[in-house]
Amino acid sequence: MAASSTSSFVVVANRLPVDRVPESEGSGFRPSPGGLVTALEPVLRSHGGIWIGWPGSSLGDDDVFEADGLKLKPIELSDQDVEQYYEGMSNGTLWPLYHDVVAKPAFRREWWDAYVQVNRRFAETTARCAAHGAVVWVQDYQLQLVPAMLREMRPDVTIGFFLHIPFPPSELFKQLPWRDQILKGLLGADLVGFQRPGGAANFARLVRLRQGHKTHRDKILLGDGRQVAARAYPISIDFQRLEQLAKSQSVMARTEEICREIGGDRRILLGVDRLDYTKGIRQRLRAFGELIVDGAISVDDAVFVQVASPSRERVQQYVEVREDIERWVGRINGNLGRIGRQPVHYVHSSYPREEMAALFQAADVMVVTPFADGMNLVAKEYVTCRHKNDGALVLSEFAGASDELKQAFLVNPHDINGLKEAMLAAMRADPRDLSRRMRAMRKQVREHDITAWANAFLADLAA
Residue closest to ligand G6P when measured from CB atoms: 34
Residue 5 C-beta: closest distance to ligand G6P, Å = 24
Residue 393 and residue 382 in contact, taking contact as beta carbons nearer than 8 Å: yes
3-state secondary structure of 30: strand
The residues, any chain, with a CB within 8 Å of residue 50's CB and separated by 6 or more, are 5, 6, 7, 9, 10, 11, 64, 71, 72, 73, 129
Longest dimension (CA), the chain: 71
Q: Which is nearer to ligand G6P, 333 or 376 (CB)?
A: 376
CA distance 1 to 88: 33
CA distance 213 to 347: 49
Binding site for ligand G6P (CB under 6 A): 14-15, 33-36, 140, 164-165, 311-312
Residue 107 C-beta: closest distance to ligand G6P, Å = 19
Q: Which is nearer to ligand G6P, 37 or 325 (CB)?
A: 37
Residue 277 C-beta: closest distance to ligand G6P, Å = 13
Q: Which is nearer to ligand G6P, 236 or 361 (CB)?
A: 236
3-state secondary structure of 247: helix
Q: Which is nearer to ligand G6P, 236 or 407 (CB)?
A: 236
Q: Which is nearer to ligand G6P, 208 or 348 (CB)?
A: 348
The residues, any chain, with a CB within 8 Å of residue 454's CB and separated by 6 or more, are 43, 46, 47
Q: Which is nearer to ligand G6P, 31 or 263 (CB)?
A: 31
114-131 per-residue burial string, b: 16 or more CB within 10 A, e: under 16: bbbebbebbbebbbebbb
Residue 462 C-beta: closest distance to ligand G6P, Å = 25
CB atoms within 10 A of CB 171: 8
Residue 95 C-beta: closest distance to ligand G6P, Å = 8
Residue 80 C-beta: closest distance to ligand G6P, Å = 17
CA distance 376 to 279: 10
**How big is the CA angle at 236 (ends 43 and 394), to the nearest 5 degrees?**
155
Alpha helices (H) in 222-315, listed in sequence order: 239-247, 249-258, 281-294
Residue 142 C-beta: closest distance to ligand G6P, Å = 6
Q: What are phi and psi of 82, to 5 degrees?
A: -60, -45
- Find the distance separating the first CA and the last CA of the chain, reported in whole Å: 35
Q: Which is nearer to ligand G6P, 35 or 49 (CB)?
A: 35
The residues, any chain, with a CB within 8 Å of residue 79's CB and separated by 6 or more, are none
**Helical (H) or strand (E) element with 357:** helix 353-362
Q: Which is nearer to ligand G6P, 3 or 232 (CB)?
A: 232
Q: Which is nearer to ligand G6P, 15 or 322 (CB)?
A: 15
Q: Which is nearer to ligand G6P, 279 or 448 (CB)?
A: 279
Residue 415 C-beta: closest distance to ligand G6P, Å = 25
Residue 34 C-beta: closest distance to ligand G6P, Å = 2
Residue 114 and residue 88 in contact, taking contact as beta carbons nearer than 8 Å: yes
Residue 258 C-beta: closest distance to ligand G6P, Å = 26
CA distance 219 to 206: 13
